[in-house]
């Protein structure tokens, strides 16, 4: 059985948003995204992959398609395949997201 203690994996980088892999397979990935205030993942899209962001800590601003909304701890949003999406920390607090994508993008 593969187990990860999620809280122990949270880490930030002053240079850019940090991605921390929790689980990875040919069918999905499950990561932590850790954003300090002002950090972002620029708007982009994935052909053939859906991505779900779940806010674990803080408040983040999500752009999905033409919409933009602030979501806080306990809320989730899906970016369906080919829909432009991104996230930024426009708050003064740290943000931690659980991110699942299936299938994972080709690397």
pLDDT tens string 21-76: 999 999 999 999 999 999 999 999 999 999 999 999 999 999 999 999 999 999 99
Q: Are 47 and 82 in contact (CB under 8 A)?
A: yes
Helices (H), the chain: 6-9
Name the pTM for this structure: 0.94
What is the C-alpha to C-alpha distance for residues 106 and 9, in angstroms, rounded to an integer?
A: 24
Q: Are 52 and 99 in contact (CB under 8 A)?
A: yes
pLDDT tens string 4-31: 999 999 999 999 999 999 999 999 999 9
| Yes or no: domain 18-102 corresponds to CATH 2.60.120.10 | yes
């Amino acid at each position: 059985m593969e187990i990860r203690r999620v809280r122990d994996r949270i880490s930030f980088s002053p240079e850019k948003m940090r991605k921390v892999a929790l689980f990875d397979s040919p069918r999905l990935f499950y990561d932590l995204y850790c954003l300090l205030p002002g950090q972002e993942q620029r708007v982009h899209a994935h052909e053939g992959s859906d991505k779900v962001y779940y806010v674990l800590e803080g408040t983040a601003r999500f752009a999905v398609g033409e919409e933009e909304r602030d979501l806080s701890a306990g809320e989730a949003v899906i970016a369906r395949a080919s829909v432009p999406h991104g996230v930024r920390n426009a708050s003064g607090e740290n943000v931690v997201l659980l991110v699942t994508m299936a299938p994972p993008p080709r690397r």
